[in-house]
Chains A and B, each alone.
Chain A
């Protein structure tokens, strides 16, 4: 590594510069941190490839939700009330833990009985950093994105990974 004081080329990992005695300890340890101007963090969600949501009513049966998820190869169904407002969400994990593991009947169970109510939504203007926050800290894999009170799509954890590849 190059001594920042006298430009001597020292062996990697050296603690002291062999020429001038400058303290080199820790200087070659790569620092974590990212360019705060990295555009990936600030891109608004509306510019990302949001996926079209599968939507059912709260009265729909889990049987319908399972058929829709399996048929479309999707891991989440969003539940919309009569006024078009998002009232809940049902994921593969919910189906596994709240329906299959508890032995509930698919036809007799309505979505409103097992869905996660009032899911956290993000606005179309919010930056990707906020979506990452929810996915990383809260462990959510599907984030509904809302504009003027309407669900316009959702961001999946897989589309986020694809974005990292291109970044």
Chain B
């Protein structure tokens, strides 16, 4: 039997399967990026030149920009490019790295996204904190998933035939 730590130490980022990475070039505007953030539900857009990640733009950046007095209008969002406001360079991880390495990088670096690249530096995915928690709930279902829809619910009679 394994501990959580063992499970994370013995699995690699590539074992998680596809990690969707919404992507846009640096000359896209913040206004154009918003629907990508909303639809992909990954919390960030990877800014790419070709297949190479050069930056990342997150939901946190949206909040930061909204707090700037000059950024309130839709017009401002239409004129600001991702290249101007993205974080760069993005934090990256290789697909061969273990999940515990990924967790360590996220916890120590205080970020919630790791841009996954291959050995040529080409974009292969976006790892987010939810992927790691999902990995655990998928692999330890008895402890975490097989719970009633409402956690404090108790059945008076056994359900089913």
- Interface residues, chain A, CB within 8 Å of chain B? 30, 32-36, 38, 40-41, 66-67, 69-71, 75, 92-93, 95-97, 99-101, 103, 105-106, 122-123, 126, 129-130, 132-133, 135-137, 139, 141, 157-158, 160-162, 164-165, 167
Question: 0/1 per residue, B23-45, Cβ < 8 Å to A?
Answer: 00000000000110110010100
Q: Given A132-B133, A161-B106, answer yes or no on A95-B4 (Cβ-Cβ < 8 Å).
A: no
CA distance A97 to B139 in the complex (A): 31
The count of residues in chain B whose C-beta lies closer than 8 Å to any C-beta of chain A is 48
Instruction: List 14 A-B pairs, Cβ < 8 Å.
Output: A66-B63, A67-B67, A96-B59, A97-B38, A100-B62, A105-B72, A129-B143, A132-B133, A132-B144, A133-B144, A137-B144, A157-B133, A158-B110, A161-B132
Q: B34-86: which residues lie under 8 A (CB-CB) from chain A?
A: 34-35, 37-38, 41, 43, 59-60, 62-64, 66-67, 72, 74, 77
- Interface residues, chain B, CB within 8 Å of chain A? 1-5, 7-8, 10, 34-35, 37-38, 41, 43, 59-60, 62-64, 66-67, 72, 74, 77, 100, 103-104, 106-107, 110, 112, 129-130, 132-134, 136-140, 142-145, 147, 151-152
CA distance A158 to B152 in the complex (A): 25
Most buried by A among B4, B64, B110: B4
CB pair B133–A69 under 8 Å, yes or no, is: no
Least CB distance from A65 to B in Å reads 9
